[in-house]
Structure 1
Amino acid sequence: MNAQESINGVPVTDGQIAAWVTEAEIGYDVEKLKKRGRGRPGRGAEPSQVVAVRFTVEELSVIDARAEREGKTRSEVIREALTISAA
């Protein structure tokens, strides 16, 4: 084992490697591995697309104030406004 091998700056020991090997040999629950964990949740069945939009400081202040007032995210407020405007 190379003494410089590390994960996030923490050295990896031979004991850790042996434990990982044992775990892999036992096998993994594929369904459990497929379950979504950390990260941004999806918004629907289809992939969403990120679109860059520029706002002034004043516009963002208004959006953020509304989001805070309504207990929503900035993105939710913007999506709602676009939905209403496009209707």
Structure 2
Amino acid sequence: MGGEETINGVPVTEEQISAWAAEAEAGYDIDALKRRGRGRPGRGAEPAQVVALRLTAEELAVLDARAAREHKSRSDLIREAITAYAA
């Protein structure tokens, strides 16, 4: 190989590789792996859709200022606005 293998800049040792191999050979608890909760938490029973939205610099500044005042995220404010509009 061309150099030392790393993960996030940390060198991977032969001992670590041997430990990973032993763990894999012993088998994994699939139920435990499924409970790990990868990714963002769900917002409902169905997966949420990502929607792209273009805003001007001024619109974004207004949104960010209000989000800061209310201690909320941009997404939270946009969802609240859509909910209020649709009501």
Tell me the matched-pair count. 85
The alpha carbon displacement at 1:34 in A equals 0.6
- 1:19-38 matches, within 5 Å, as 19-35=19-35, 36-37=37-38
Instruction: Check if 1:45 corresponds to 2:18.
Output: no
CA separation in 1, counterparts of 2:42 and 2:14? 38
Q: Is the contact made by 1:4 and 1:11 (CA closer than 8 Å) also made in structure 2?
A: no
Instruction: Structure 1 unaligned segments of length 5 or more: list them.
Output: none
CA separation in 2, counterparts of 1:52 and 1:78? 12
User: Residue 79 of structure 2 aligns with which residue?
Assistant: 79
Instruction: Structure 2 unaligned segments of length 5 or more: list them.
Output: none
Check 1:3–1:55 CA distance in 2 against 1; reply closer, same or farther (3 A cut).
Answer: closer
Amino acid at match of 2:86: A
User: Residue 6 of structure 1 aligns with which residue?
Assistant: 5
Q: Which secondary structure does the structure 2 equivalent of 1:48 belong to?
A: coil
Q: What is the TM-score when the length of structure 1 is the normalising length?
A: 0.77
User: Residue 60 of structure 1 aligns with which residue?
Assistant: 60
RMSD over equivalenced CA pairs, Å: 2.1
Q: Among the aligned pairs, what percent are the same residue?
A: 62
Q: Which secondary structure does the structure 2 equivalent of 1:81 belong to?
A: helix
